Amino acid sequence: MIAELVFVGTELLLGQILNTNAQFLSQKLSLLGIDNYYQVTVGDNPARVAETLRQALSRADVVITSGGLGPTQDDLTRDVAAEVTGRPLALDSALAAELEGWFRQRGRRMSDNNLRQCLVPHGATVLPNPNGTAPGLVVPAAENKAIILLPGPPNELRPMFDNQVVPYLTGRMDGAPLMLVTRTLRFVDIGESLLEDRLKDIISEQQDPTVAPYAQLAEVHLRLATKAASVEAGLARILPLEERIRERVGKYLYGLNETPLEEAVGQLLRERGLHLTAAESCTGGLLAKRLTDVPGSSDYFVGSFIAYANAAKTGLVGVPAELIAAHGAVSEPVAAAMAEGALNRLAADIALSITGVAGPGGGTATKPVGTVCLGLAARPGAAAGKPGHGPAEVRTLTLQLWGSRRDVRERSAQNALALLRRYILGQ
């Protein structure tokens, strides 16, 4: 089955509303094994909506729309779908009675224009909406095709799709539907181009499963996908391919599917019984936020310092003022001192530090915007899970990052986590 998605609303074209329905419906269709080749967003213009629906019906078995089912004059999806399919609209008295009851229960008066939501194309199936006033509709079209009209608000669309549209779609399929089975491999410390180069024969010769690289912020994802009658059958085809990929670039593979780097690193700390602290300057606590976003992070993260100004670097984590004067706040010696200071102030085994120029101002000829220095200080033997006493092991790294202020900060935190991962794994 081929489905096409049509999102109706000028507010979407203007960027006034984020179209989360697109992501939700795309994911749901893929899980059902329904192909989706086109997604179209169209404004509240009847001629353009009609043209969009006709084009969608010409290349899809099912067209699913979102939006334009409200009571006002610019809510025109229902009217246009009736026109395109040649089905006259008529007031559904049962729907009208239900809608009047909905308003009455809430102590509100129903306006006459709300009755527009009770107009149903001849022969259409009504999809009840317990979470709003606009029912959905399944409108038959020529050649055994259909247009499925769904409301725009996500809290109405999502339960309607799961509870009513999914059974309808699966009922239309011949035999057991094939579902899309995917497995996402997440890599750090390797760029998209280098990863693709290491796997170029696998990618160029792909058939089933398919292999697709995706560049993310300071990491790369590789999606392996196939269609199968069950998850188990799909994974049986995917896992041998994954093993080939692991043999070549496994050192960079840190997690699977939805596992973020902070969760993967946290698991390494937990397994080795290690405790982490941090001292942050340009990231202003972003690293600590990411670490504590993970449930159970109190098992390994003890706390952190936001040492933004030079006085805070000196007062909070003991960076000597003369060291800052000699090398600058953004330097490897200061990053090392920040990490050692944080390590000595809290009962931790490893400390990370970040200091840099996030921009858009503050850069110099020798330290332009995006210059970031990372530090790591660890008790001797911490990498093996046996921290001891003595001088800390120290690693430092200078990066030249790019992008907006937000990008530089995000990349800084990501690279700090990657540095920690390499240390724990002995890379």
- What single string gives the DSSP state of each residue in 369-382? TTEEEEEEEE-TTG
pLDDT at residue number 102: 83
CB 209 within 8 A of CB 224: yes
Supply the DSSP symbol for 319.
-
Let me know: does 127 contact 160? Beta carbons within 8 Å. Answer: yes
Percent of the chain surpassing pLDDT 90 = 87
Asked if 385 and 350 count as a contact pair (C-beta separation under 8 A), the reply is: no
Q: For residues 2-14, give the mean pLDDT.
A: 96
The CATH class of 179-256 is alpha beta
Q: Model confidence at 285, in pLDDT bands (50, 70, 90)?
A: very high
Q: How confident is the model at residue 175 (pLDDT cuts 50, 70, 90)?
A: low
Q: What is the pLDDT of residue 362?
A: 94
In the chain, list all ranges with CATH 3.30.70.2860. 179-256
CATH number of 261-425: 3.90.950.20
Q: Would the pLDDT of 162 be above 90?
A: yes
Residue 340, SS3?
helix
Domain boundaries for CATH 3.90.950.20 within the chain: 261-425
Please give the backbone phi and psi of residue 377, each rounded to the nearest 5 degrees, phi first: -125, 135
Average confidence (pLDDT) over 153-161: 96
CATH number of the domain located at residue range(s) 2-172 in this protein? 3.40.980.10
pLDDT at residue 176 in the model: 65
Domain ranges in the chain with CATH number 3.40.980.10: 2-172
C-alpha to C-alpha distance for 394 and 342, rounded to whole angstroms:
13
258 alpha-carbon distance from chain centroid: 9
Q: What is the DSSP string of 99-166?
A: HHHHHHHTT-PPPGGGGGGGEEETTPEEE--TTSS--EEEEEEGGGEEEEEE-SSHHHHHHHIIIIIH
Q: Map tokens 């936001």 to a residue.
A: 306
Tally of CA atoms within 13 A in the half-sphere of 93 that contains its CB: 0
| Residue 140 · residue 124 · CB < 8 Å | yes
Q: Of 203-212, 240-249, 365-374, where does mean pLDDT reach its minimum? A: 203-212
pLDDT digits (tens, 9 = 90+) for 23-34: 999 999 988 889
Q: How far apart, in whole angstroms, are the C-alpha atoms of residue 175 and residue 166?
A: 15
Quote the tokens at residue 304.
Answer: 């952190």
Average pLDDT over residues 421-425: 97
Q: Which tens digit of pLDDT belongs to each residue from 60-97?
A: 999 999 999 989 888 999 999 999 999 999 999 999 99
Instruction: Report the alpha-carbon distance of residue 350 to residue 343 in Å, rounded.
Output: 6
Give the model's confidence band at 105: pLDDT under 50 very low, under 70 low, under 90 confident, else very high. confident
